[in-house]
Copies of this chain bind each other. A is one copy, B any other.
Amino acid sequence: MFDLKKYIAEKKEKVEEFIKSYFNPSIKPSILHDSVFYSLTAGGKRLRPVLCIASYEACGGKKDITPYATAIEFIHTYSLIHDDLPSMDNDDLRRGKPTNHKVFGEGIAILAGDGLLTEAFRILSNPEYADVEPLNLIKVIYELSSSAGVYGMVGGQAMDLISEGKEPDRETVEFIHLNKTAKLISASVKSGAILASADDEKIKRIEKYGLSIGLAFQIIDDILDIEGCTEEMGKPKGSDIEKGKMTYPRVYGIAESKKKAKKLIDEALDALLTFDHKAEPLREIARYIIKRTS
């Protein structure tokens, strides 16, 4: 029996180790170092790096690509710091802890985010971390920057920002979820496949898997905001509703949203049908995502 918990714990440990070793020497000024470190070690699930590594292994990769996988966590962490800012979501809590700007002030929080985003590309442009093909790294940088840029995460966040308090509609909520969440998750698994030199057919299937679980993940996050407990979420229940956020349950209702998430996970598993046992971690992660609500 494949043990997902153990698998995730092992990959997570390597990610934590890389994070601890990366900022050497310490960043100057020290408040910036502390700010960057604070958010990087604030108890993230490391879903994106684990997905990247799992996809790499599913495609037959055998090297340790932890640094490149962790670069994606840098991008994710930057987005959380900036999302929480007063001029964005104005959140005081993240994973049960005060948000970065609450501890270090807005200016340093913005710079910590800027720094993490930039360092992600510095890691990805260093072929020495795992002796991989420069052309593959270039492709990974292109995927990640495309999914995180103005035609991806940044666009999704901007749409999220200007849509607050507006009447929800399907097109907008789908745009936000696809761009703000699903594209980077999909790029995470696609990056793993590219680093493993997978063929185009495999990369396409992995991308489909990533988009499907990415959308499902966000829909379930929306549902948990209504049904989950504050402790589990690390932020107050109902905070999306309070802010008038565009969410799936608001557009489709809870029952329909759950059905939609279930269907997406089925599609994700279908996309992996041509993969062998090495894709078991990816399959189990998909099943785990849907279990969060049931």
Interface string of A154-166 (1 = CB under 8 A from B): 1101110110000
Contact: A111 with B161, CB < 8 Å? Answer: yes
A149-B162 in contact given A117-B117, A154-B114 (Cβ < 8 Å): no
Q: Give CA–CA (A233, B36) in the complex, Å.
A: 34
Most buried by B among A82, A125, A127: A125
Interface string of A27-66 (1 = CB under 8 A from B): 1110111001000000000000000000000000000000
Residue of B115, B145, B146, B149 near A154 (CB, 8 A) is: B115
Q: A187 to nearest B CB, angstroms?
A: 12
Q: Are A145 and B121 in contact (CB under 8 A)?
A: yes
Please determine whether A138 and B149 come into contact, CB atoms closer than 8 angstroms: no
Chain B proximity of A60: nearest CB distance (Å): 22
Known: A107-B87, A122-B142, A142-B125. A154 touches B32 (CB 8 A): yes
Task: Please tell me if A80 contacts chain B, counting CB pairs below 8 Å.
Answer: no
Partner of A149, one of B86, B106, B122, B157: B122
A23/B159 contact (C-beta < 8 A), A114-B82, A114-B113, A117-B114 known: no
Q: Is A108 an interface residue (CB 8 A)?
A: yes
Q: Are B110 and A150 in contact (CB under 8 A)?
A: no
Known contacts A125-B142, A134-B138: A29-B117 contact under CB 8 Å: no
Q: Does A229 interact with chain B (Cβ within 8 Å)?
A: no
Q: A29-B155, A115-B154, A118-B154 are in contact. List 7 more A-B contacts (CB 8 A).
A: A32-B158, A88-B110, A108-B161, A114-B154, A118-B145, A118-B148, A141-B141
Q: Which residues of B contact A111 (CB under 8 A)?
A: 82, 154, 157-158, 161
In the complex, what distance in Å separates the CA atom of A254 from the CA atom of B118? 35
Instruction: Determine how close the nearest CB of chain B comes to the CB of A108; give it in whole angstroms.
Output: 6
Contact A32 B150 (CB under 8 A): yes
